[in-house]
Chain A
C-alpha cells in the first residue's frame, strides 16, 4: 500500500505545474512556480516562461497582436522583427524605450487549445546573439512537449 502511495505522490509531483523545463545552457533557474519559470544568466540576462489557460479562439496571432499593441502603443517599444515559428507560435523582437536602450526584448507566444505559453528574453544587445540560441532551444523544448 505504501509503495503505491509513494508512486502516486511522485507521479503527482511530476505532473504538477506547466513549466517543468530544464534551463538551457548558460542559464540557471532563479525561481519557479506552477505557472512561471524564471531563468538568469551570469550577465543578468533573463528568460521567463509563463503559462496561462487559453480561451476559445485564443490563437497565437491574437495574443501576439495584443502584446504588440500593448508594447508599441502604450509603452514606447518598437517592433523590429516578427517571425512565425511552425504553425502555432510567433516570435517578436522589440527595441525597448530609452531607459533600456542597450537591450533587446524578445517574446514568443505559443498556443494550443488549452494552453498559452509566453516566453520572454531580456538581455543586452551585445549578448543577444548568444542568448537567443538558449532562448530558441527552450522554445523548441516547450513547443515539442506542450504545443505539438
Chain B
C-alpha cells in the first residue's frame, strides 16, 4: 500500500521532470551544463585563473577550450534549425539566468626585424595554414592572419624567433557579458515569436492577422540581427587575429670580419636618405 502511495506521489514529479527536459532549448541545455560545471568547480575549489582561461589549456581537467567552442557553435546551429522549423522548438522560460563559459578574443601584433622579409612572411603563412588558420589581408610585408585561438600562443612562440622582435603587443577582450546578453535576447525573441505564432493561428480578422504578421517580421528581423552578431563574435573568439610586420634587417655584422658596427649616436641622422626625401 505504502509503495503504491509513493508511486502515485512520484508520478507527477517524474512527468514534470520529463517535460522540463523536453522543453529545454539548446542554449538552456548548454547553460545548464555550464552551470553544473561551474558549480562543480566551485565545490572542488577550482577557480578560473589566467592560465586556465588561456586557449588550448584544459579547464577542469577534461573539457578543452576547442570543445567548448564546438559546443557553442553547435548550439547556434541548432537554434538556426529551430528557427527554420519553429514547430519543433519548444522554448520554455524555466530559467532566464544565462551562464556561458568565458569567451575571449585574442589579438596579437608583432613587428619583427628579419634578414629576408619575403621568405619569413611566406614561412609564417605556411605555419598559419598548417595550424588551420588563414590570411586575412596582406600589404607589402604586413600581413593579417587568423589563427585558431587554441593555437594562438603556440603560433606566436614559433614566429618570434624568426628575427629580432622590435614591437610586441598582445591583448585580449572578454566578450562573455556581451555573448550572454545576446544569447538572452535571442532566447526572449524566440519565445516572443512562438507566442506570436500561436496568436496568429487563433486570429480571425484580417486586420489582426496583418498586425501580428508585421510584428513577427519585426521580431524575426531582430532575431537574425542577433544571430549575426553572435556568429561574428563566435568567429572572433574561435580565431585570434595576428598582425605581423616584417622589416628588413640591415646586418650590423660584417660577414667576413664579424666586426660590430655601432649605430649612429645621433638619431635624426638616419632620417636623411633618398627614400625619405622622395616621399616627403
Complex alpha-carbon distance, A69 and B277, angstroms? 18
Q: Which residue of B lies closest to A44 (CB)?
A: B278
Q: Is the CB of B264 within 8 A of A66?
A: yes
CB within 8 A of B274: which of A44, A69, A100?
Answer: A100
In the assembled complex, A103 has its CB within 8 A of some CB on chain B: yes
CB within 8 A of A122: which of B269, B270, B278?
Answer: B278
Q: Is the CB of A48 within 8 A of B277?
A: yes
Mask of A135-146 contacts with B, CB within 8 angstroms, 1/0: 000000000000
Given contacts A75-B250, A105-B273, contact A69 B278 (CB under 8 A): no
In the assembled complex, B130 has its CB within 8 A of some CB on chain A: no
The smallest C-beta distance from A94 to any residue of chain B, in angstroms, reads 8
Q: Is the CB of B250 within 8 A of A96?
A: no
Complex alpha-carbon distance, A48 and B270, angstroms? 15
CB within 8 A of B269: which of A66, A94, A99, A103?
Answer: A66
CB within 8 A of B252: which of A70, A74, A99?
Answer: A74
Within B221-280, the residues touching A (CB, 8 Å) are 250, 252, 261, 263-264, 266, 268-270, 272-275, 277-278, 280
Complex alpha-carbon distance, A50 and B261, angstroms? 27
Given contacts A69-B264, A75-B250, contact A118 B272 (CB under 8 A): yes
Q: Is the CB of A76 within 8 A of B274?
A: no
Q: Is the CB of B269 within 8 A of A67?
A: yes
- Interface size bracket, A side: 20 to 34
The smallest C-beta distance from A140 to any residue of chain B, in angstroms, reads 21
Using CB atoms and an 8 Å cutoff, list the residues of chain A in contact with chain B: 30-31, 38, 44, 46, 48, 50, 52, 66-67, 69-71, 73-77, 94, 96, 99-100, 103, 105, 107, 118, 120, 122
CB within 8 A of A46: which of B264, B266, B272, B280?
Answer: B280
Q: Given the complex, which residues of A lie within 8 Å of B278, measured CB to CB? A: 44, 46, 100, 103, 122
Q: Would you list the 3 A-B pairs with minimal beta carbon distance, nearest first?
A: A105-B274, A122-B277, A122-B274
CB within 8 A of A38: which of B264, B274, B275, B280?
Answer: B280
The smallest C-beta distance from B135 to any residue of chain A, in angstroms, reads 25
Q: Given the complex, which residues of B lie within 8 Å of A44, measured CB to CB? A: 278
Q: Given the complex, which residues of A lie within 8 Å of B274, measured CB to CB? A: 94, 96, 100, 103, 105, 122
Q: Given the complex, which residues of B lie within 8 Å of A30, measured CB to CB? A: 280
Q: Which residue of A lies closest to B266 (CB)?
A: A66
Q: Is the CB of A75 within 8 A of B266?
A: no
Q: Given the complex, which residues of B lie within 8 Å of A66, measured CB to CB? A: 264, 266, 269
Given contacts A66-B269, A120-B272, contact A74 B280 (CB under 8 A): no
Q: Is the CB of B277 within 8 A of A74?
A: no
Within B6-28, the residues touching A (CB, 8 Å) are none
Q: Is the CB of B277 within 8 A of A105?
A: yes
Instruction: For the A-B complex with A74-B270, A75-B250 known, give 19 more contacts whose Cβ atoms are closer than 8 Å.
Output: A44-B278, A46-B277, A66-B264, A69-B264, A70-B269, A70-B272, A74-B264, A76-B250, A77-B273, A94-B274, A96-B274, A100-B274, A100-B278, A105-B273, A105-B274, A105-B277, A118-B272, A120-B277, A122-B277
The smallest C-beta distance from A99 to any residue of chain B, in angstroms, reads 8
A-B contact pairs, 19 of them (CB 8 A): A46-B277, A46-B280, A48-B280, A50-B272, A69-B264, A70-B269, A70-B270, A73-B261, A74-B250, A74-B264, A75-B273, A94-B274, A96-B273, A99-B275, A100-B274, A100-B275, A100-B278, A103-B278, A122-B278
The smallest C-beta distance from B221 to any residue of chain A, in angstroms, reads 52
The smallest C-beta distance from A129 to any residue of chain B, in angstroms, reads 18
Complex alpha-carbon distance, A30 and B278, angstroms? 12
Mask of B128-152 contacts with A, CB within 8 angstroms, 1/0: 0000000000000000000000000
